[in-house]
Amino acid sequence: MLRYLERLSDLFVRRRIPDHIRSENEPEFTAERVRDWLYRVEVKTLFIEPGSPWKNGYIESFNVKLRYELLNGEIFDTLWEAKV
């Protein structure tokens, strides 16, 4: 967790302290230590609703690339084959 806070701190110094951070509900973003630190530097946290990855542009881009590079190159006879 300390490494994560160090990286955020470095980023804030290089760029600027943002008004808010939008993130997923992953442990590194919801940890009490992180929330306390963000509160002290006056950064609000906005969480993406669970089950809504399309609200995260990075994930959306990753999913499109994954589909293009892996799934579109294969022909699946059943949904089960695609899931495996």
Q: How far apart are alpha carbons 27 and 39 in whole angstroms? A: 17
**pTM, rounded to two decimals:** 0.53
Angle at the Cα of 29 from the Cα atoms of 23 and 30, rounded to 5 degrees: 115
Q: Which residue has the higher pLDDT, 73 or 5?
A: 5
Arithmetic mean of pLDDT, 76-84: 76
What's the pLDDT at 41? 93
Q: Which two tokens stand for residue 79?
A: 């949904």
Write out pLDDT tens, residues 12-64. Answer: 999 999 999 877 776 666 688 888 999 999 999 888 777 666 666 666 677 67
For residue 81, the model assigns a pLDDT of 78
DSSP reduced 3-state for 23: strand
